[in-house]
Amino acid sequence: MSQPLKSNHIDLNTRVKRCEEQMTADLGGESAILNVKTGTYYGLNEVGSRIWELLKEPRTLKEIRDSILEEYTVEPSRCEQDLLALITELAQHELVEINHAPDHQI
């Protein structure tokens, strides 16, 4: 079983999925997420909401990046930078589970 983020090292091989202790509401293309454990709300814009949708199933950040690059017009380096920042922030809010071992499922 994976745990909330303890290390700042997240890369494209990192496997991520949503934590179970959260609730999500669709707000017309944007999302509001409630961490049930802490009572903290977190908001996502359209692209962040699409990433959140992809996190329903465990995926590597490379898989998520590739999906976003196919669906949106964005420079690959900018996409990767923003994705890593978002996942780091979601992990800090205990909204995603991180698994650094690419061969293991979350």
Q: Which regions in the chain score pLDDT beneath 70?
A: 1-8, 101-106
Residue 69 within a domain: yes
Residue 65 within a domain: yes
Q: What's the pTM value of the predicted model, to 2 decimals? A: 0.84
CA angle 72–93–54, rounded 5-degree value:
30
In the chain, the number of structural domains is: 1
Task: Report d(CA 61, CA 83) in Å as an integer.
Answer: 8
| Res 7: pLDDT | 45
Residue 75 within a domain: yes
- Tell me if 43 sits within 8 A of 31, measured CB to CB: yes
| Res 82: pLDDT | 96
Residue 7 within a domain: no
| Res 99: pLDDT | 86
- 3-state SS, 33-49, equals EEECCCCEEEEECHHHH
Q: Which residues contact 32 (CB under 8 A, 6 or more apart)?
A: 24, 25, 41, 42, 43, 44
| Res 79: pLDDT | 97
